[in-house]
Structures are given as C-alpha cells and as structure tokens.
Amino acid sequence: MDLFKKCYTYDSAKKAKAAGHYPYFHTLTSKQDVVVNMEGHQEIMIGSNNYLGLTSHPDVIKASIEATQMYGTGVSGSRFLNGTLDLHQTLEKELAEFLHKEDCTIFSTGFQTNLGIISAIAGRNDLIFSDKENHASIYDGTRLSYAEVIRYNHNDMDDLESKLSTADPNKGKLIVTDGVFSMSGDIAKIPEINRLAKKYEARIMVDDAHAFGVIGEYGRGTAEYFGLEKEVDIIMGTFSKSLASIGGYVAADHDVVDYIRHNSRPYIFSAAIPPANTAAALAALRILKREPNRAHELLAIADYMRQGLKKKGIEIRESKVPIIPIYTYTPIRTMVACNLLFERGVYVNPVLPPATPIGECLIRTSYMATHTKELMDEAIEKIAAVLEETKDLMD
C-alpha cells in the first residue's frame, strides 16, 4: 500500500472549501492587536492569546529590534553548545525570581517545552497522571517519556484519587495538569491536587500557558492564584501568549531544572530561541512586573464581555478567565458562524472534533487587556445576530 494514500484520499478540508465553510488560515497583514487587518477586512480580534496586548507595545518592539542589531538574527546552535546568550540567562533569572522558584530554563517553543520537561523527568519505571483535557503537547510529552500514562477525568479529584490509590507505591509519580484549560477556561483544582500529591507521594507539574499574566494578584499564574507557589513542583509556561513572543520555560528547584538541561533531548538538540524573541519576552515580563494591573484589566474586560453575551441569551461556558467558549454544537453551524462573523468584522476560533467531543462544538473567544468596551459591544451585537441566523444549523 502507498504510504501517501491517506493524503490523497483526505477530503474533509476540500469539501469545506468547496461549500464555502472553511474557516482556517486567514492571512494577517497587520500587527496582532485588538483590531487587525485580514484579507482586506478590518477584524475585531477576539481569537488571539495576546492576553496582555503586548505584541504591539512599543517597548517590546524596540527591545526586539535592538536585540537583533546587537546579536544578529539567530544563535545557530543549541543552548547546550554555542547557543547560550547572556540575554537567555537574564530572562531565566528574572523569570525564576518572578515565579519564586530557584531556577528556570527556556525552550524554543511552548510545545517543545512540555515535550522536553516530561520526557526528561519521567521514564519507563514512572507513572504520569494526566487530566484528560490537557493540551496536546502534554499528551505527546507523556508518549515520549515511555512512562505509564494514567488519564483521569477532567478536574475530577475523586477519579484522580482512585487511580493514585491503586498505583504502585514504588514507582515515581507525576500529576500533570493545565493550570487554565485552553478550550474551556476551567481552572485546575490545585489545592485538591496538592492534597492528593502529598497523600500519595506524587510530584505536581502545572502548564501555565494560559494562566501566566492572567490570574494571580501579580499575574504569576495558577499557583499564585491559590497561594500554593511552594507546593507546585514544576511550573511550565509559554512566551507566545502574555509575553508577546515565542518560546517556553520551566521553573522549579535548581536540581530539577539542571537535570532537564542535561537530559532533555528536545532542549539539547534544538537551536536556542532567537535574540529578538528572547528580548521581546524579557521586555514583556518587565512590563507585567511594573504594571500588574494589566492582568486585572484583562479579567475585567473578559467579565464585561461575559455579562454582555449572557444578557443576549447566548449560551456560554462559565469561567473566570479571558477564555469564553460559545456553544454552537454542530460542525456546520460552527464553521458557518465563524465565516459570517469574519465577513462582518469579528475574528473568532472554531473548535471542532477531535478538539471537542462530538455534539459539543464551540466558538472559542479570548480577550486582551487592551480591548475596549466599545469594541466588545460591537462584537456582542454581531455574535448575537450570527447565532440567531444560524440556529437552524444545530440539527
């Protein structure tokens, strides 16, 4: 059989394009901001993870340009060899201090960060307990580790305890969870996870990609939100959201981070994050540190949007973060609604199976600290109109 047969026979995207329902790969021709230009349209951007609105901040842009002028466009090697810049080390030091951890190291992408952490610290004789709604990078990291993976029902602490209680006490145990779940906006139950981790001698790893810069008094994420920074053993996060760049980090005890530096294949065998991206993330971190109110403004505008949608009778999934899923149920309604919103100047993200269970398709919307109430009012009116027009497509 031809290896490429599945490629030649794959027609889902072709059918959607032919029907005019295809909602992906719209082309940006402007900065990522509250309003963007896409394919000749001006769009209110409520489908971005630019939570603090820093991708167009002049200090972040300036830092990126100056780093390129000083260091060039790339490092041409891994951190393990010739690719470590003093800029990398400065960012790591400031992140560790900000997160109240002994040490930190950075990776070239967020996806790679989860691969690199999990595959380094867990092995064939270990057990990983993973929330079923964890990010795909966690799923792939667990596969790469060769550890036994035990998945527990989403945010279900009774199920987690049931599985921990029957686990081999002689094996190393890691509980890994998203801090803020990227599709639902749910917040992990860290206090309960911490209680179970202590009871069953497990370690805790939290993926704070969607929590850093979002929750906690100073925007430090899930552990700060619950007052459990000392209890969470490993904090992972990304630069591609609140920190307006690309890359990721791991913060933990020095010995843990140093072990990852010397044993993580994705870390050792990948080129280091380029100077421009490192400087951008560092500049964004410094803005967050001096302007922690940005995180509070972000939650306030998200709550304004949430209340506005509810007043229109729009069914949403309740959350406390700037991720608001709007239920559309069927793939066809989801795609049609997203395309209609795009035509009318509102960019949102369609979420279809396998990213969501069959029958639970949704539109994922997300917000920035720099959004205005006027923009939100306009988006609410257009969303309400489109959902009304497409309600017959739910069957």
* Contact (Cβ atoms closer than 8 angstroms) between residue 338 and residue 350: yes
How high does pLDDT run on average in the chain? 96
* pLDDT in the model for residue 21: 86
Q: Kindly list the distances between the CA atom of residue 116 and the CA atoms of 87, 112, 259, 379, in Å, as whole numbers in the listed order.
A: 21, 6, 11, 39
* pLDDT in the model for residue 395: 66
Is the same domain home to 188 and 125?
yes
Q: Is the pLDDT confidence value at 309 over 70?
A: yes
Beta-strand pair 361-366/349-351: antiparallel
Q: Is the pLDDT confidence value at 394 over 80?
A: no
Is the same domain home to 72 and 200?
yes
* pLDDT in the model for residue 343: 96
What's the rounded Cα separation, in Å, for the pair 290 and 186?
28
* pLDDT in the model for residue 240: 97
Is the same domain home to 128 and 243?
yes
User: Among residues 384, 372, 354, 395, which one has the least CA distance to residue 132?
Assistant: 354
Is the same domain home to 286 and 302?
no
Is the same domain home to 370 and 316?
yes
Is the same domain home to 298 and 285?
no
What's the rounded Cα separation, in Å, for the pair 90 and 278?
10
DSSP conformation letters of 169-191: TTSEEEEEEESB-TTT--B--HH
In a domain, 7, yes or no: no
What is the count of structural domains for the chain?
2
Percent of the chain with pLDDT over 90: 93
* pLDDT in the model for residue 356: 83
Query: Is the peptide bond between 325 and the residue preceding it cis, with omega within 30 degrees of 0?
Result: no
* pLDDT in the model for residue 93: 98
* Contact (Cβ atoms closer than 8 angstroms) between residue 92 and residue 249: yes
CATH classification at residue 129: 3.40.640.10
In a domain, 82, yes or no: yes
Place 310 in a pLDDT band, splitting at 50, 70 and 90.
very high
Task: Give the tens place of pLDDT for each residue, 210-223.
Answer: 999 999 999 999 99
Catalytically annotated residues? 182, 210, 241
- Mean pLDDT, residues 345-356 taken together: 92
In a domain, 8, yes or no: no
What's the rounded Cα separation, in Å, for the pair 368 and 283?
18
Domain that holds residue 374: 13-45+292-394
Report residue 173 CA to chain centroid gap: 24
Is the same domain home to 275 and 306?
no
Task: Give the tens place of pLDDT for each residue, 137-181.
Answer: 999 999 999 999 999 999 999 999 999 999 999 999 999 999 999
In a domain, 118, yes or no: yes
* pLDDT in the model for residue 393: 81
